[in-house]
Amino acid sequence: MTEQEDIAIHMVYLGLGSNIGDRDANLSAALRALAAVVTIEHVSSVYDTAPMLYTNQPRFHNLVCQATTSLTPGALLHAAKEIERQLGRTSGPRYGPRVIDIDLLLYGRLIVNTPALTIPHPRIAERAFVLAPLAELAPTLTHPVLGETMVELLRRVPESDVERVGPLPQP
């Protein structure tokens, strides 16, 4: 067995969102940066969404990407936070406006619950802005804790202000 064969490759789903500046350009820049640390397999359509919880802010553009990686969950989280920083994300109010937000939604069937990281993302089942693009990419994917598909979870979310815009514009 070669050293290369020892490296495990994991399917991951990342949620991206932006509501400051050119939202689509921010999403594109984040995908380009992510492509340096993961292999992006598929990218959902862009969804225009109303902000949740902290509602006095601009609307978001959200998408989900499916990727493969050999990074550990902690290393992937660190890489995502570094990309956010490089693209201009600064600290602000929780759920407040942001240039870019990158969330690790799913990491294979892995379940992680540490102070630094929870996988699956703990609020997937509440968020149409995550479930709509996730169900577009992987409708039959089953949530490893809840045991329901992404489409089933999306059906359970109350009506929300989430509208499919279309594919991310190419630069």
Q: Is 48 a catalytic residue?
A: no
Q: What is the pLDDT of residue 113?
A: 93
pLDDT tens profile 21-58: 999 999 999 999 999 999 999 999 999 998 887 778 88
pLDDT greater than 60 at residue 5: no
pLDDT tens for 89-131 read 877 767 668 899 999 999 999 999 999 899 999 999 999 999 9
Where residue 1 falls among pLDDT bands split at 50, 70, 90? very low
pLDDT tens track for 67-94: 999 999 999 999 999 999 999 887 776 7
Q: What are phi and psi of 46, to 5 degrees?
A: -90, 140
**Among 23, 85, 94, 101, which one carries the catalytic annotation?**
101
Active site residue 103: yes
Place of tokens 């902290």: 54
Q: According to the model, what pLDDT value does residue 93 have?
A: 67
Q: Which of 23, 85, 89, 94 is catalytic?
A: 89
- Tell me which of 56 and 3 has the higher pLDDT: 56
Which has more confidence, 49 or 6? 49
Q: Which of 94, 98, 127, 155 is catalytic?
A: 98
- Single pTM value for the model: 0.92
* Res. 2: pLDDT tops 80: no
Q: Which long-range contacts (CB under 8 A, 24 or more apart) does 51-57 make?
A: 51/19, 51/95, 52/95, 52/127, 52/129, 53/95, 54/93, 54/94, 54/95, 54/96, 57/19, 57/96, 57/97
Predicted local confidence at residue 148, as pLDDT = 96
Confidence (pLDDT) at 4: 52
CATH code linked to domain 4-166: 3.30.70.560
The larger pLDDT score, comparing residue 158 to residue 40, is at 40
Position 62 pLDDT exceeds 60? yes
* Residue 89 a catalytic site member: yes
To the query of whether residue 127 is one of the catalytic residues in this protein, the response is: no
Active-site residue, selected from the candidate residues 32, 48, 59, 103: 103
The per-residue pLDDT for 80 is: 96
DSSP assignments along the chain, one per residue: --TGGGS--EEEEEEEEE-SSSHHHHHHHHHHHHTTTSEEEEE--EEEE---SS-SSPPEEEEEEEEEE-S-HHHHHHHHHHHHHHTT----STT---S-EEEEEEETT--EE-SS-EES-TTGGG-HHHHHHHHHH-TTPBPTTT--BHHHHHHHSPP--EEEEESPPP-
